[in-house]
Structure 1
Amino acid sequence: MAKGPEKNTKNKALHTKLLNKKKAKLQADKKASALRLKALVAKVNAQKKANDDSVNG
């Protein structure tokens, strides 16, 4: 009985590596975006507080 064609494990490994790189990049971009947003919110809150202090003080 004949065996089937050989499995192409090299391409599968490269594909998995590529997908893992893509996932890691997306995760890093998401984290960076969250940090930028957090910094922006902190800056706006600081400005609000400063404006409230200047109006009340």
Structure 2
Amino acid sequence: MPKKTKQKNTKNKAKHTKLLQRKLNKERAEKEATKARRKAIVQKANEAKKSDDC
């Protein structure tokens, strides 16, 4: 039985590669944005906690 993976693109390899790279870069950018948002939220919470302690 053949392995169940993505279909191979044999016709337009350059275009296919370009599209896959665009997709991966988009996912990376979203991941970085989420990480930055979470970091900002944590930092804001820590500042609020510090101000409550004083």
TM-score over 0.5 (shorter chain): yes
Q: What root-mean-square deviation, in Å, do the aligned CA atoms of Structure 1 and Structure 2 show?
A: 1.1
Tell which structure's C-alpha radius of gyration is larger: 1
- Which consecutive segments of 4 or more residues in structure 1 shift more than 3 A? none
Question: Unaligned stretches of 5+ in structure 1?
Answer: 1-6
| TM-score between the two structures when normalised by the length of structure 2 | 0.77
Structure 1 or 2: larger helix share?
1
| TM-score between the two structures when normalised by the length of structure 1 | 0.74
* Equivalent residues, number: 45
Which of structures 1 and 2 has the larger relative contact order (alpha carbons within 8 angstroms, sep 6+)?
2
Question: Unaligned stretches of 5+ in structure 2?
Answer: 1-9
Structure 2 partner of 1:4: none
